[in-house]
Structure 1
Amino acid sequence: QGGGTPGSTRGSTRGGTRTRGTPPKRIRVTYSHVSVDVGDSAILKGISGQANPGEVLSIMGPSGSGKTTLLNALAGRQALSGGCVLLNGHAHIKAMRRSIAYVMQDEVFFGMMTVRQIMYFTAYIRLPDTMT
């Protein structure tokens, strides 16, 4: 989408309408003491943190460590056993949830790239020009 060609503008397509250079809503995601149980197993226990607007956040860990479960819990796709997730200081609101997304695990990157290089590359091709 543009990819840095002179005169081009990166943007996004929503509902068939292209929005050029429209910055996304600025949402801070704060999570405190998040726990998720599946059956008798504790998948996450007491996880806290924050994702700030305008920043790129990566969650890394070995297979089976709960990365996808955490992302699903933050996005409101997974029920919490404990703790809370706040969007701009408020409980999940459907209108705000539409502004939140994450990139699912994808094995299309070159093995020779570092995590930092992959994050920069992904941000470059996905974010509007107004964000760095």
Structure 2
Amino acid sequence: MVSVTIDRLSVRLGHRAVVQDVSATLSPGSLIGIIGPNGAGKSTLVRALLGLIPAQGGSVLLDGQPIADIARRIIARTLAYLPQGQTLHWPLSVERLVALGRLPHLGPMSHMSADDMALVLHALDRADVGHLRDRIATELSGGERARAMLARALAVGAPGLIADEPLAALDPGHQLDVMDLLVREARAGGLVITVLHDLTMAGRYCDRLLLMEGGRLVADGAPDAVLTPDRLAAVYGISARIDLTGPSPVIVPLERTAPRRTD
């Protein structure tokens, strides 16, 4: 079990305030989605709570300890991270790529044990890339590569998982598979946080949504409390057909209600 506490967090990139005064307590057991338009600060928030970029103000606590005081190896063992849009440069097999997820658990000169290898094989199967284990990762399609990178994150075996846009490049079937997997991880007691652009997936699968705009957290709660017509108009500049009452919630953008931003 692991939890993250964000207290009045602010982050600047260059001269621009990208995250501003965000506070939230992220606890295990439910799927937490971070949503918002392009440039809202979602990925920067994720990177800051992982300690990958420094805070300009406020704090991030991992199980009550400041993230800046925790060794990178410990963070990597605790919070597995799937960044968005990773480019692969080395011609590794898919199996070797996924095995990199075990590095936080290995010493400088140590080798993977049978238990490590079992976790790698399990991660390959969970991400539906077991049949690709001998393929060269740089030769995969975009969707296959995305699933291989997810498998690498799963192979860490961490109590927390943070996935930034895990549905990008995936076909509809694999999008459903990944969301089902994230829900299972959360229901098993993991801390699972995902950045999403698909509002239907967010409304259907997430237990809690954090809606960001302009670097600020403008709503935090259950999907039916966050995904309202007024909020979608104010934050995204759209009207939408919203049906969150049935077993398969649907949010369909209809038209813009505000001019497209050009800045």
Give TM class, smaller chain.
0.5 to 0.7
Partner of 2:165: 105
Deviation of 1:128 after TM superposition, in Å, equals 8.8
Q: Alpha-carbon deviations, 1:25-56, whole Å to 9, x = none?
A: x1110000100111111001100001102222
Q: Do residues 65 (structure 1) and 40 (structure 2) align?
A: yes
Q: What 5-or-longer segments of structure 1 have no aligned partner?
A: 1-25
Q: Do residues 85 (structure 1) and 144 (structure 2) align?
A: no
Retained in 1: the 8 A contact 2:12–2:18?
A: yes
User: Larger radius of gyration, structure 1 or 2?
Assistant: 2
Retained in 1: the 8 A contact 2:30–2:186?
A: no
Give the structure-1-normalised TM-score: 0.65
Distance 2:30 2:51 in 1: 20
Deviation of 1:130 after TM superposition, in Å, equals 4.3
Deviation of 1:121 after TM superposition, in Å, equals 1.2
Partner of 1:23: none
Change (3 A) 1:118 1:63: farther
Please say which of residues 101-110 and 28-37 is displaced more in the overlay. 101-110
Distance 2:187 2:10 in 1: 37
Retained in 2: the 8 A contact 1:109–1:118?
A: no
Distance 2:61 2:79 in 1: 12
Q: What 5-or-longer segments of structure 2 have no aligned partner?
A: 81-161, 191-263
Change (3 A) 1:123 1:81: same
Aligned to 2:11, which of 25, 36, 42? 36
* SS of equivalent residue, structure 1 residue 58: strand
Aligned to 1:123, which of 168, 182, 207? 182
Q: Alpha-carbon deviations, 1:82-130, whole Å to 9, x = none?
A: 110011111122264121121121311529x8xxx677413256x3984
Retained in 1: the 8 A contact 2:28–2:186?
A: no
Distance 1:110 1:83 in 2: 39
Retained in 2: the 8 A contact 1:32–1:47?
A: yes
Q: CA RMSD in A?
A: 2.8
Change (3 A) 1:131 1:36: closer
Partner of 1:18: none
Q: Do residues 47 (structure 1) and 22 (structure 2) align?
A: yes
Give the structure-2-normalised TM-score: 0.34
Percent same amino acid at aligned positions? Answer: 29
Distance 2:177 2:37 in 1: 17
Retained in 1: the 8 A contact 2:4–2:62?
A: yes
